[in-house]
Structure 1
């Protein structure tokens, strides 16, 4: 039996979300805004309010990543907005150009509902983490940061994973406080084949 936290998207649903993301970026190039849909257009999982991230890469290098842990929008609309923002409003990068778009690969990660981790010490937190499976969300008095599960590929050691998340949240790597709150989540991730990205829409 699949774990209770598992999210299942059919290949057709994954393909539809990838098309929505690319069309929203294409729409943004010409209209400076994301695609907007009537919520009634979608059903099933595409109509559910699920957190998601859209990651853009070029030659396997990050080109933009924007997402939402929680949303009050249907998944399809949220993906359209996050794709637009990843392309044009990630402050780490300049806005995507029309010349770059065909060489930019889209990956979508759909998140499960975050689950609180009961950890009163740093060691308890490390013991509760499941490397390569858990995404981790940190909150501490207005400081917030998250790492998707794929970050385990760069930071496979749980102690380094947590330390770098602390730094991302604006805290020292060895920081600990009773005010810290942690939540874990899992993702279903899927991406375009490069040929898909190169086809004009």
Structure 2
């Protein structure tokens, strides 16, 4: 993404939340009105912060709709549908900080033990997707800032997915991805 495309994505995220405050739904975006690169399928996560604290984070793990649409929909969802927070209100809106993560396709990891998995992790580079027996969770690479040790990162991801911190199973699937981040 070049600087102009990044600015377009940030503007769409803001506009979608503003539209949501006024109309109760995401901004309707016609992908054809934007750069060809923004029309391509893309997966994004939108992280909202308020006073340096997380205020919402929602995204897509797989590219299945135009990136510009994905950003508009996920920005709205981060502001109004993140179950950890009440919906964003008019007072908070002007103070929101926007962080966009564009996900590269996830790659399955190969391992036979937890120690082997941990040895493969690349702190501050990898985002992870954990899946097992109906449980699923992901951490963006930015989470390494608050959980810098691979064991800690991994245990908290299991908890986020609704599994015990010491959970292990031979059917566990883990994929990793990288992101392009900007704000």
**CA drift at 1:49:** 1.4
The answer as to 2:116 corresponding to 1:124 is yes
Q: String of CA shifts for 1:129-171, please: whole Å, max 9, x gaps.
A: 1110000000102100000001111111101110111111111
Structure-2 separation of matches of 1:76 and 1:109: 13
What do you get for the CA RMSD once the two structures are aligned? Answer: 0.9
Partner of 1:75: 67
State the alpha-carbon separation in 1 of the partners of residues 41 and 120 from structure 2. Answer: 27
State the shift of 1:63 in Å. Answer: 0.6
CA–CA separation in structure 2 for the residues paired with 1:35 and 1:49: 18
1:161 to 118, 128, 153: 153
Structure 2 distance, partners of 1:39, 1:59, is 32
Contact 2:43 2:64 (C-alpha < 8 Å) held by counterparts: no
Structure 2: which 5+ runs fail to align? Answer: none
Q: How far does residue 64 in structure 1 lie from its aligned partner after superposition?
A: 0.6
Q: Which residue of 2 aligns with 1:182?
A: 174
User: Is the Cα–Cα contact under 8 Å of residues 65 and 90 in structure 1 kept in the other structure?
Assistant: yes
**Contact persistence 2:108–2:174 (CA under 8 A):** yes
Moved over 3 A (4+): none
Q: How many residues align?
A: 183
| Structure 1 unaligned blocks of 5 or more | 1-8, 192-201
- The TM-score normalised by the length of structure 2 is 0.97
Residues 48 and 74, structure 1, Cα contact 8 Å, conserved in 2: yes
In structure 1, the residue matched to 2:99 is: 107
Tell me which residue corresponds to 1:89: 81
For residues 69 and 12 of structure 1, the distance between their equivalents in structure 2, rounded to whole angstroms, comes to: 24
Selected match of 1:150 from 142, 146, 151:
142
Output one character per residue of 1:90-114: Cα deviation in whole Å (capped at 9) or x when no partner.
1111111111100111111100000
Give the match's secondary structure for 1:119. coil
Alignment of 1:31-50 (within 5 A): 31-50=23-42
In the superposition, the TM-score normalised over structure 1's length comes to 0.88
1:5 corresponding residue in structure 2: none
